[in-house]
Structures are given as C-alpha cells and as structure tokens.
Amino acid sequence: MNRHAGSERNLTLVMDLYELTMAYNYFKQGNKDQLVYFDMFYRKNPDNGGFAVFAGLQQLIECIENLHFSEGDIQYLRSLQKFDEDFLDYLLDFKFTGSIYAIKEGTPVFPNEPLITVKAKFIEAQIIETMLLVTVNHQSLIATKAHRVVQEAKGRPVMEFGARRAQGYDSATYGARAAYIGGVAGTATVSAGEMFDIPVVGTMAHSFVQSFDNEYEAFKAYALTYPDDCVLLVDTYDTLKSGVPNAIEIAKEVLEPMGKKLKGIRLDSGDISYLSKRARAMLDVAGLTYVSISASNSLDEYLIRSLLNQGAQLDSFGVGENLIVSKSSPVFGGVYKLVAIEKDGQIIPKIKISENTEKITNPGYKRVYRLFENETGKAMADLITFHDEVIDSTKDLTIYHQSDVWKFKTIEADTYTVEELQVPIFENGKFVYEKLSVKEIRDYSMKEKARLWDEIFRLEFPHNYYVDLSKKLLDYKIKMLEEKRK
Amino acid sequence: MNRHAGSERNLTLVMDLYELTMAYNYFKQGNKDQLVYFDMFYRKNPDNGGFAVFAGLQQLIECIENLHFSEGDIQYLRSLQKFDEDFLDYLLDFKFTGSIYAIKEGTPVFPNEPLITVKAKFIEAQIIETMLLVTVNHQSLIATKAHRVVQEAKGRPVMEFGARRAQGYDSATYGARAAYIGGVAGTATVSAGEMFDIPVVGTMAHSFVQSFDNEYEAFKAYALTYPDDCVLLVDTYDTLKSGVPNAIEIAKEVLEPMGKKLKGIRLDSGDISYLSKRARAMLDVAGLTYVSISASNSLDEYLIRSLLNQGAQLDSFGVGENLIVSKSSPVFGGVYKLVAIEKDGQIIPKIKISENTEKITNPGYKRVYRLFENETGKAMADLITFHDEVIDSTKDLTIYHQSDVWKFKTIEADTYTVEELQVPIFENGKFVYEKLSVKEIRDYSMKEKARLWDEIFRLEFPHNYYVDLSKKLLDYKIKMLEEKRK
C-alpha cells in the first residue's frame, strides 16, 4: 500500500444495483439530466448520544474524483443483460459534473440537518448515493465513538488497537483515521499511520514473552532493542508476582545503567483496577514513579469511566473492538433523500412522507446555520432555512421545532452570531475545497466541540440540542403535508 | 475495480505496529528463523449461537501471496525511527515461506478448535497475524449472521442490501461475499457481483418514484424499461391506497398487453405483516396470484421469524444493516496464539495460562477431526489431538472435555467415521490448495451444515456441540498447568 493508495482505488461499483437500474430508466426516459437536490442526513445519534462527529469527507472527495467505470466494469455490467449499449457507452464516459456542499469534516453535527447537499443531474446524484453513504456513515460512526471513549479517559491518551477485530481492511485503516479525528492519540494500525500521518504505537504481545525461556529474558531483550521506548506487557504469567517485579528489575538493572528510563507497563487481563493500584505502589516503592501504567482489556467508555471512578492508577488506554466497530452501536444511519427537483429553472421542493413523524423529510434546497450566543460563545441551536433566506443578527430571530408547530423560541437581536455550516466542495464537477491533513481536521473538530455546552456530551440523557427550522421552511413543509393528505 | 482487484492490493501494512517491533526484536536477537506454531481459533459464537461459518480463507490466501513491503512502505517505516537499515533491507525482500493449514472455507466450526494453524519462522508467523485475523474474523462473522437470517426465512430467498451501512468499502464487498457463503441468494452490491460472481439484485428507491409526477407514471416507466424483471416499490405514498392499486394497474394495463407479468412488489415501511396480508389479498382478487411480495425494513432473523409466525404473506426478504455489520453481535473474536516452538528438531508445546479457564490455550501442534455417527451420518463431536495421533475407528474412542477432566465420552468401535478438518494451504511458502469459486464454497457449506443436528442451529439455547481433546493432549495440558502452578 503506498502513501495515497486510497486515492487510486476505483470504488465506483461499491454501489447498490438499483442506482444503475434507476439511472438506466432516467437515461431511457430522457430525464437523466434533470437537476435535482439530495440531502444526506441522519436521524439518531449513535449510542443515544447527544451529537455526532461528521467524518469521511476527504474519502468522499477521493471517491468522486476517481469515479469512473473501467472497461472491466462495463464488461461486467453488460453481462447482467439489464442495460443497452447506449447506456454502457454513456457510463464509460461518466464523470460527476454536479455540485456538492458539505459541513466541514470534524464538525459536531446533529440529527436531521443536511450534512451534505448534492445538486446534480438526476443520474449523477443517483450514481454516487451508495458510495457517499458508506463513506460518511462509517467514519462518522467511528469518530463519534472515539470521542465518547476519549472523553471518559479525562485527558489520558487513548490508543486505537482494533485492526484485528475490524470489519475488513478499510474498517481497520479508515476506522483508525476516524478514531483519530474523534480524539484518540494514536493507532496500532500501520497502514493508517502511513496513509494519514497518524501517530502509531505498539510494543509486544504475549507470544513475544512466551518465545523466551522466561519473562525476564524477554523484557531484557526488548529493553535492549528499544531502550528509549520500552513498554513491557506484564500479564503473561502473573502480573504482581512476576510481571511487575521483572519490569522493575529491568528498569534498575538494564535501563538505569544505560542512562535510560523504563517508559511504562501494560496490563491486559485480570482486575485492572486492583492490579493497577498494586503495580503503582510497587513501582513507587522502587522509586519508579515515572513509569506509566496502561490498560487494554476490552475497554470502552463505560469501563474507562468505571476504572477511573474506582481510583485505578492508569495513565493511558488501548481500546480495540469496542471502538473499531463501535460495538455497542455499530450503525450510523445516514440517509440520502431527494429534496427538490429543478424544472424550467424553478426549484420545486419534494417531501418524503411517512406515518412516522421523524421520518418526514425537510423539503427544498436549504442552508444550515449554527447560532452562537455572544455572551458565552457557545452554540445555541442549528437552524435550517431555504437556500435564499438570509439571517440578520441585528434582528430578533424566531426558530421553530421541526414538527411540533407550537414549539418555537425567539433569540434577541444582537445577542447572537450566525455561521453557515455547509461549504462548497465541488461546483459543476470541479473541486473547489481544500485538502486538509487529518491532524488539521482533528484540531478543528476539538475546537468546534469546545463551542458546544458540555451537557451535550453526557453519556446518559445528553442535552437535546435544537435543530430548528425557519418560519418560511416550516410553513412550506406544513403546506406540503396538508396537500399530500388531500 | 476490476474483476480481481482484491488480489492486486498490497494490504501488508494493515498490521499492528507491534508485529514489527516484535519482528525487529527477533531479527536483532537472532531467533527470527526459529520455527513456531500458531493456532487461530475463537472462543464464543456470535449472537450466542451454536456454531460459526468459517469464511475469508480465499482472501487470506491472496493476502499471503501478495505480502510484500513496497519501497514506499519501507520509506514510511524508516521515518518511524524504530528500525535499522538491516531490518528494512530484510523487509524489502520479505515473503512468507512457512506452512498454513486451515479448515476448508464454508465449514461449520466451533469454539476453541484451531481453524488455522501456521507453522513458520517466528518473524513470518508474527508479521501475518493481524492480516489473518481481520480477514477471517470479518467474513466468518458475516457468514454466520447470514446463516441465521436465511434459516429463519425458511426457504424464502434473502437478499443482502447493506452496502450503505457497511463499515467501509471492504465491509460492503467482502461482507456481501461472506453473506453469500452464509446462504443469502444475492446482493445489491455491484462490486461483490463483479468480483465474486454473486447474483446481484436491485430495482428502485423512493427517489425514483418521487422523480415522476405521480406513482403510476413512475411504475409505468420502470415496467417499460424492465418488463421481464419488474419489482415495484409500493410504499412511497400510501401502500394500500396508492402503491398496490397502481402496481395492479401496471400489471394489467402495461405488462399483460405486452405478454409480460409483473414480477413483484416490495414493502419497505409500515406494519409489514398487515400490509403484506392486505396486499396479497388485493393482488389475488385482481388475479395476480403470481406476483410476489418482498419486504425490506430493518429486518433481522428475529423479525423475519416473527413476521412468518404472524402469517405475513412474504416471498422474499431484503436485509441491510442488521446483516452487513452483524449489528446485534458485531465482533468475531478470533485470536492467534503461540502453541509450540521448535528447538533442535523437537516440537515444544507452549501454553498461555489465565485465571479465566476458558482462556487457557490448548498446547502443541495439533490436528482437528470431526467424528460422524455412522447410523445417522450426523457429526457427533470434533476432536483435537496432537499432530502425531492417529484415530482407528475400528476401536473404541474416548474423548475428553477441554478442562473438566471428569467429563468424557466413549464412542464404540465401528460406529463412527473420522474426517480431518484442516487441509494444507501453503507448504514452505508454496500454495498447495485450490482456488474455489464462491458458489462452490457456498454449496460446500450447505452440505456440511446438513451433516450437523438441527439443534445446533437453534437461535435460543442451541445444542452445545462437543469439541473435545484426546487423552494424550488433555494429560499433557494438565501436566503443563501443574508445572506452571509450581
């Protein structure tokens, strides 16, 4: 895998077949070039949390730039006997010529607001659907989970260790990328380090310790190879009777004479709270107060919180399967819905109705704003409006619940600041955004999360952040619903 | 993506960094070429089920064949400043020269038996660890889940629809492959169809219906494009008042005059049981008894069972997120443990001890046998022995529980047949197995599952299949544990 392998793969056919059967219909019916607007949004935060971290935009950009049907792809599609040669010819020259607007990667986001808006020819908007969703759903899920885990570590570094339990190679590599955006300090997955310049970490497994005649010899060998970066796994035989005493001897007999310091020990089994306290005491008595203790046994945000509440003496954490697949909540339910059609230069809003109120879409070509309270600098609400609405913060602003018409709130003039969330990524097929490093995205994400009230980040019963509508949008939505009922 | 894109990617660095820091130690200590034996096994069936489907072997073979460090990889590893130039030179020429034995892909398997055994130089065995685990863990998880879902559909076809909710591109593509091995009839994911010759299916989304002035026009357009394969999504507006009546009109007014038959309708929201019964009645009254009804709304094995128990009139199912990430149980906990070291031509068994009895490994270089009862042809137990043990089925055979020494069972001579489960895949770096089509693997899997008692497949409290040890192996294990205690 080379440095930018991700940008060279043709992932075009990672697509539901119905995108192509629909595309073929548009092609045959002559409406393939009709301009349409699709919104990508999600309805529910993972783990019943209070927010999500939007991630995956960079890979979506690469997918769009790389989008093409190879000769081999065409040959395969021909073999399905569902498409005629005109259509296959069309696909061979296919590229995305539309516009994509998206919230910046790393931004904390909320249910039912458009994270991505696609304005494109119908056939193009349809063909990118699956790829867009799988990219954003996967990375937003893992970035959000990472935030939760990191938050509960209260400033102690968390390392991502999950590759072996990932759902395939991309889940390992892009999952590590997303976890880093969400806040982990590094990953064990080398491919993620190579592709995204993420710090990589790793020392030894039990098999290494077992490969020597005894634990002391194993530790000694490792210390001699990595005197500056020596973290010893102390639970292969008996943590307190063998592992920690051997680690102490290595620190004193091997490293100190070299002028080096043992960096840390790692606990990977047993009662981590108890073992960490005993190990800390043993290290301290030996004068090794500088040796850190890390833990890595099936941890998640709740276990880390519990360990710290018990006074466990832990300085860092390695988190595996519970993070890399977001085990407790392994699906980010992003959807992609038609919200408008352009006819004779007019944008005609479309709505998807449902018996389930939460599943009714917000119609039209729209904008998303975040409203900040000037006094605290904290975000108060997100506001969805039609695309042609302008907010004047020198005037009072009334914002409305998405479905309960009696719920609204007025924000006083000159007490708030407005920021638009979506930025142009592609305009008429041309990439107009910037490519950021994962580190930059991570830093931006931290900064934006700090602009939200802490109550949003609570694991249990988080504050329900407002995502409201403008009066104009709400009225239009209600009118459409009433018309549909007739 | 071309037809065999999977075999061209270099996934070598999808690896935990500790594989390399350990490898570097072996390299520096001079024991890198020591022959060792590792077993890959798992401890618990997903979803508390009674078995798992072993899958991913073909991709593991491709990973091993493709294993190499590119110039770019070496450059990246150099930048970490953890390895010297001798080691980096060694990696540049690295290839796998060891032997791999594995259970055939698609075989139903059970906890604690070696699915894969690697006999290789220490450094090579370590370097393939992460790749081996992520490959097998992912696909075995999804194949196992697919079996559960398909089983509850009781002969009705199940389609895999999950790409958009997958955990990355590989999760979508290889997940569809694994789901097919597990028993689904097809997938919506085109890349999986292209790469693995899996049947692909797909018709339309709600956006297609919304793109027309009304539902009838949308259905008509689709019927004209695909008269031979017309499945209409009937829930965009109102299933019973609009969707089904329009579908009936299309069948009668558009398709019948062409000599064609409407193939089916699809329900994607609402009370599927109720709607399917009402829709079936409406179709039947209209003389359209041949039109099938499919459902696809957040289904899993339990919902499908419940729908059929309610008498829902459904002929096929589309299953998305609950299958593609095995939502209710998204981790397959396969591990890779050192079981023996070769010294001066002697194989020295190794054991990993733990306070947790289930976590104690079975030491030594071993074989796995499946024992079939001659009378019924059904499997009775799997038996793990040392590699040099031979089973003579003309003699009584006593098999022993893995840890409870008082639990054993004697099988009478001439009442059973023995089959060895692992076959050689690589011998001294040379591929010695065969490459099978996914269809062949699927057929083989079905055949092997049919050789197990049905009670193993129960969703709740499945029969606990025996995976036992030979007397020799159990005695050796106990002796080792006693020695460790001293």
User: Given this model, what pLDDT does residue B272 score?
Assistant: 97
Work out whether the CA dihedral B69, B71, B73, B75 comes out positive or negative.
Answer: positive
pLDDT tens readout for residues A23-34: 999 999 888 999
Q: What is the arithmetic mean of pLDDT over A246-268? A: 97
Angle between helix axes A85-92 and A17-29 (nearest 10 degrees) is: 110
Angle between helix axes B85-92 and B71-79 (nearest 10 degrees) is: 160
Whether B347 shows a pLDDT value over 70: the answer reads yes
Tell me the pLDDT of chain A averaged across its residues: 95
User: Given this model, what pLDDT does residue B95 score?
Assistant: 95
User: Given this model, what pLDDT does residue B319 score?
Assistant: 98
Residue A207 to residue B161, Cβ atoms within 8 A: no
Q: What is the arithmetic mean of pLDDT over A471-478? A: 96
State the maximum Cα–Cα separation within chain B, in Å, rounded to a whole number.
Answer: 87
- The token duo for A8 is 């060279």
* Cα-based angle A389, A393, A395 (whole degrees, multiple of 5): 90
Say which CATH class B5-142+330-485 falls into.
alpha beta
Whether A1 shows a pLDDT value over 60: the answer reads no
Work out whether the CA dihedral A89, A93, A94, A98 comes out positive or negative.
Answer: negative
pLDDT tens readout for residues B64-81: 999 999 999 999 999 999
Residue A338 to residue B210, Cβ atoms within 8 A: yes
Chain A residues in contact with B203 (beta carbon < 8 A): 18, 21
Nearest CA in chain B to A337: B207
Query: Which of the four pLDDT bands, split at 50, 70 and 90, describes residue A353?
Result: confident
Please state which of the ranges A270-274, A480-484, B151-155 shows the lowest mean pLDDT.
A480-484
How far is the alpha carbon of A52 from chain B, nearest alpha carbon, in Å?
A: 16
| Distance (Å) of CA A464 to CA A48, A278, A421, A455, A461 | 11, 42, 19, 9, 8
Pairing relation of β-strands A408-411 and A397-400? antiparallel
| Distance (Å) of CA A461 to CA A47, A112, A195, A457, B17 | 11, 19, 37, 9, 38
As a 3-state breakdown, chain B gives helix, strand, coil percent values, each rounded to 5, of 40, 20, 40
Give the three-state DSSP class for A316.
strand
Residue A16 to residue B338, Cβ atoms within 8 A: no
Chain A residues in contact with B352 (beta carbon < 8 A): 206, 210, 236
Percent of chain B with pLDDT over 70: 98
Residue B189 to residue A14, Cβ atoms within 8 A: yes
Q: What stretches of B122-197 adopt beta strand conformation (E)?
A: 158-160, 186-187
Query: Which of the four pLDDT bands, split at 50, 70 and 90, describes residue A484?
Result: confident
pLDDT tens readout for residues B304-322: 999 999 999 999 999 999 9
Residue B206 to residue A338, Cβ atoms within 8 A: yes
ipTM above 0.90, yes or no: yes
Contacts of A40 (CB under 8 A, 6+ apart): A114, A115, A116, A117, A118, A132, A133, A136, A334, A335, A336
SS3 assignment for B340-397 = EEEECCEEEECCCCCCCHHHCCCCCCEEEEEEEECCCCCEEEEEEEECCCCCCCCCCE
User: Are the beta carbons of A420 and A151 closer than 8 angstroms?
Assistant: no
Residue A194 to residue B38, Cβ atoms within 8 A: no
Q: What is the arithmetic mean of pLDDT over B469-477? A: 96
Please state which of the ranges A317-321, B123-127, B184-188, B354-358 shows the lowest mean pLDDT.
B354-358
Q: From the list B270, B352, B355, which residue is nearest A210 (CB)?
A: B352
Q: What is the arithmetic mean of pLDDT over B148-168? A: 98
pLDDT tens readout for residues A167-215: 999 999 999 999 999 999 999 999 999 999 999 999 999 999 998 989 9
| Distance (Å) of CA A15 to CA A167, B150, B173 | 18, 23, 9
How far is the alpha carbon of B71 from chain A, nearest alpha carbon, in Å?
A: 8
User: Given this model, what pLDDT does residue A5 score?
Assistant: 42
User: Given this model, what pLDDT does residue B5 score?
Assistant: 42
What DSSP string runs through B32-85?
Answer: TT-EEEEEEE-SS-GGG-S-EE---HHHHHHHHHH----HHHHHHHHHTT-S-H
User: Given this model, what pLDDT does residue A3 score?
Assistant: 36
Q: Which of A11, A14, A76, A337 to mutate to test the interface with B (most CBs of B within 10 A)?
A: A14
How far is the alpha carbon of B170 from chain A, nearest alpha carbon, in Å?
A: 6
The CATH number of the structural domain formed by B149-324 is 3.20.20.70
Whether A4 shows a pLDDT value over 60: the answer reads no
Residue B18 to residue A169, Cβ atoms within 8 A: no
Alpha-carbon gap, residue B415 to B69, rounded angstroms: 52
Residue B165 to residue A133, Cβ atoms within 8 A: yes
CATH superfamily to which A203-315 belongs: Aldolase class I (3.20.20.70)
Q: Which secondary-structure segment (H or E) carries A379?
A: strand A379-386
How far is the alpha carbon of A72 from chain B, nearest alpha carbon, in Å?
A: 6
Angle between helix axes A169-182 and B129-152 (nearest 10 degrees) is: 100
pLDDT tens readout for residues A64-99: 999 999 999 999 999 999 999 999 999 999 999 999
pLDDT tens readout for residues A411-432: 999 999 999 999 999 999 999 9
Whether B7 shows a pLDDT value over 50: the answer reads no
How far is the alpha carbon of A205 from chain B, nearest alpha carbon, in Å?
A: 7
For chains A and B, CB pairs below 8 A equal 325
Enumerate the domain spans of chain B.
Answer: 5-142+330-485, 149-324
Element counts in chain A: helices (H) and strands (E): 16, 21
| Distance (Å) of CA B258 to CA A346, B222, B228, B252 | 37, 14, 10, 10
Q: Which of B2, B10, B13 to mutate to test the interface with A (most CBs of A within 10 A)?
A: B13
How far, rounded to the nearest angstrom, does the alpha carbon of residue B127 sit from its chain's CA centroid?
23
Nearest CA in chain A to B200: A17
Percent of chain A with pLDDT over 70: 98
Residue A166 to residue B141, Cβ atoms within 8 A: no
